[in-house]
Amino acid sequence: MPPRQSSDTSRGKAAVSDVYASMRAAILEGEMAPGARINIDAVSRSLGVSQTPVREVLQRLEGDNLVVYSPGRGYSTTPLLDLVELRSLFEFRLLVEPWAARAAAVDRLANPAAALEKELTGFRKTMKVTKDLRQDLVAHDTRFHDTILAASGNSVVRHAFGQTHCHLHTFRLYPADVDGAITVAEHSAVTDAIEACDPEGAEAAMTRHIRNSFDRFAQAFEGELAPLEEVGPPRKRIIK
Amino acid sequence: MPPRQSSDTSRGKAAVSDVYASMRAAILEGEMAPGARINIDAVSRSLGVSQTPVREVLQRLEGDNLVVYSPGRGYSTTPLLDLVELRSLFEFRLLVEPWAARAAAVDRLANPAAALEKELTGFRKTMKVTKDLRQDLVAHDTRFHDTILAASGNSVVRHAFGQTHCHLHTFRLYPADVDGAITVAEHSAVTDAIEACDPEGAEAAMTRHIRNSFDRFAQAFEGELAPLEEVGPPRKRIIK
DNA sequence: TTAACCAGATTCCTATATGATTTTGGCGCC
DNA sequence: GGCGCCAAAATCATATAGGAATCTGGTTAA
């Protein structure tokens, strides 16, 4: 973490805000390894602030599910997702994002097609020149999906989605380079349907995108949990 | 707020935990009015702790959407929901809860029917003797819905739902007594479908329950935003 | 009457200090 | 060689202190 880089000339007041941004970025970029203990004293000295604002930030990061707390033992970064959690996360995305895409594909000024096109065009250019494709892909993906959630007009859904920090958690699973081209193609399909004000098409395109995305990330667990052998439908009721 | 009532004999270590519970309860029970400023010094003295743990708790409560922060001006309790936010909240509930009810209505040991029956039976008894029906109804409703979310097996969905604090926010709108009988009847319908391992029926019953619940809470805004006059479908496209 | 201004007091926000708990390293014992 | 115990060090968690910003009320000028 860089030493504070305060927004106003140091010794100011925005310590908590700066520390939050720094620590969030450090966790997101893997600078703090998943599951590692966090030494409050080290962090505070590294950022040039006292321990008080660091502790406040840690409380907030716990609400963001970016750190976990053990009473008396302090804070650690959250460990990597296991396959069960990854499935839960993508089931949640399948619940809210296709709905949001449908809601965004309306013939109103809230339609986000222009912003999505701009985002896609910008990222296509970035892809050709960037030295850190993975980082840029995460940023693009985050903006793209949030734009659609915002256009849904439902702040509760948007906030709940944001709080899952799905991009952070999923991309921590995937240290290898990914083929941004596939993601861009799927994003294009979603954008086209939204631009055409086609709710059904937008919902379907988003559903396909998320399912494909899950398949790509689930490769990190290749072979870990082999599917159960087929047992057929249950023979009799076990409840009641 | 009572003066600390620490879990271990006071002067211990669980200050943050205690303070969090106290402040959360104070906001939930309306002891701290919606939109009111929070005086950190007053709270810390009232609870018998220093300002440090109080400030940490406030950061956490902000993540819970129970307080809002203005830099330099301190913290306030979140204001009451307006109609737009109430609609957003119930749209979110309509996205996740019917799905959870469907997921819970399975012929597996995760089926929560027994726990739901127990919860309902207990509340029916409580209704007859309680002096604070509203408080008990909130508690019952919270437990009932969380039980179903938990039984869905999806921790992300359950957590996202919990973070909305929908019971807190909606019941703050409703200082008047409510007829718990209606809620109990709808809960019974949901429970019966889950007990019968009827996913379609459980989903439908939950959808009906949430829609009815919205109608009841929306009465708080009676006449505030009259529906727009019917304008018919739009004549021509305005996007692109 | 209204608006602007300005000290005094309050309140926020960070820093530092201190007691309590956990971790670490080393030694003896089995 | 491995395991358990104990003191020292490190770390956590809260309390207290002080600088900086904001709010309050009273006064003056337009």
**What is the value of ipTM here, to two decimals?**
0.81
Residue B143 and residue B104 in one domain: yes
Do A61 and A91 belong together in one domain? no
Give the chain A residue nearest B106 (alpha carbons).
A239
Residue A62: CB atoms within 10 Å: 17
Q: Taking CA atoms, what residue in A is nearest to B104?
A: A239
pLDDT in the model for residue B10: 35
> Residue range B137-166: average pLDDT?
95
Q: Same structural domain for residues B89 and B72?
A: no
- Asked if A88's CB is within 8 angstroms of B156's CB, the reply is yes
CA distance A162 to B135: 31
Domain boundary, last residue among A52, A77, A102: A77
Q: Are residues B97 and B201 in the same domain?
A: yes
> How would you write the pLDDT of chain A (240 residues) with one tens digit per residue?
555 444 443 334 578 999 999 999 899 888 898 999 999 999 999 999 999 999 999 999 998 889 999 998 999 999 888 899 999 999 999 999 999 999 999 999 999 999 999 999 999 999 999 888 888 898 999 999 999 999 999 999 999 999 898 988 887 777 555 678 899 999 999 999 999 999 999 999 999 999 999 988 888 787 665 544 444 444 455 555
Number of domains within chain B: 2
Where in the sequence is the domain holding B32, given as residue range(s)?
A: 15-77
Predicted local distance difference test score (pLDDT) of residue A226: 52
Q: Does the beta-carbon distance from A59 to B59 stay under 8 Å?
A: yes
The integer distance in angstroms from the CA atom of B164 to the C1' atom of D17 is 38
Beta bridge partners of A38: A75
Distance B21 CA to D16 C1' (A): 24
Whether A52 and chain B come into contact, CB under 8 Å, resolves to yes
Is residue A6, in this structure, part of any structural domain at all? no
Q: Do B68 and B134 fall into the same domain?
A: no
At a 7 A CB cut-off, the residues bordering strand D are A 12-13, 37-42, 51-52, 55, 71-75; B 13-16, 44, 48-53, 56, 72-73
**Residue environment code for B76-113, b if the CB has 16+ CB neighbours within 10 A, otherwise e:** bbbeebeeeebbbbbbbbbbbbbbbbbbbbbeeeebbb
Is A232 within 8 Å of chain B by CB? no
Q: Classify residue B6: in a domain, yes or no.
A: no
CATH number at residue B46: 1.10.10.10
* Nearest residue by alpha-carbon distance to C1' of C22: A73
Q: B235 and chain A: CB distance < 8 Å anywhere?
A: no
A 162-181 residues inside an 8 A Cβ radius of B: 163-164
Tell me the C-alpha distance between A186 and A188, whole Å.
Answer: 5
Residues B92 and B155 in one domain: yes
> B108 with B188, same domain?
yes
If pLDDT is split at 50, 70 and 90, which confidence band does B119 have? Answer: very high
B157 and B207 part of one domain: yes
Which nucleotide has its C1' atom closest to residue A14's CA? C13
Task: Let me know whether B178 and B133 are in one domain.
Answer: yes
A7 in a domain, yes or no?
Answer: no
| Residue B64 domain flag | yes
Q: Which of A57, A156, A234 sits opposite B92 (nearest CB)?
A: A156
Identify the domain boundary among B77, B103, B129: B77
Q: Is a pLDDT exceeding 80 seen at residue B3?
A: no
The two three-digit tokens of residue B18, written as one number: 């205690």
CA torsion A61-A64-A66-A72 (nearest 10°) is 50
Cβ–Cβ below 8 Å for A157 and B91: yes
Tell me which protein residue sits closest to nucleotide D16, measuring alpha carbon to C1'.
Answer: B50
Claim to verify: residue A122 and residue A154 sit in the same structural domain: yes
Residues A92 and A211 in one domain: yes
| CATH number, domain containing residue B109 | 1.20.120.530
- B172, B206: one domain: yes
Does a structural domain hold residue B25? yes
Give CA angle at A111 (A106, A113), nearest 5°: 120
